[in-house]
Amino acid sequence: MPDRRKQIIEDLFSRLNARQFATLAELLDGDAVFDVAYAPENTSFPSPVRGAQAFQGLFESAVASMFNPLDFEILETYLGEDPGVIVVEYASSGVAAPTGRPYSNRYVGIFKVREGRIAHWREYHNPERMVEAFGSASGPA
């Protein structure tokens, strides 16, 4: 039987790849947090983002306008000893919409799952890839 944590993460990335941003709140705890660990201070969106609606809204507005397309591939998952923790290695490929430049990155995401929903997602990625694609670490202003 597949671990529920893995199913939730696979569902999340499936929805992201299909650009079903308006459905993300269905997977999120009401107080969910999305935290980009190395977000530059001059980024065009706040980090961390708190609350399921704000979390979903970030993807509906900022991510949707920053990238088209943007596809994720899960490379590896690590189930934490804590039954609510999963660490995920993933990669992206796509296009920075404002510049038309290719964008790809590698990530580590630490997810906390509570009662079958994502409660916290902390993402680590290479911000230099943003500079290459957008011309700045913050993406479009």
| Domains contained in the chain, CATH given | 4-134 (3.10.450.50)
pTM metric for this prediction: 0.91
- Pairwise CA distance, residues 115 & 14, whole Å: 20
Whole-number average pLDDT of the chain: 92
pLDDT higher than threshold 80 for residue 26: yes
What dihedral do alpha carbons 49, 115, 25, 76 form, nearest 10°?
80
Whether the per-residue pLDDT at 127 is higher than 60: the answer is: yes
And the tokens for 43?
């980024």
pLDDT band at 141; cut points 50, 70, 90: very low
- If one compares 27 and 128, the residue with the highest pLDDT of the two is 27
Angle in degrees, CA 51, 55, 136, rounded to 5: 135
Predicted confidence at residue 135, as pLDDT, reads 85
Whether 44 shows a pLDDT value over 80: the answer reads no
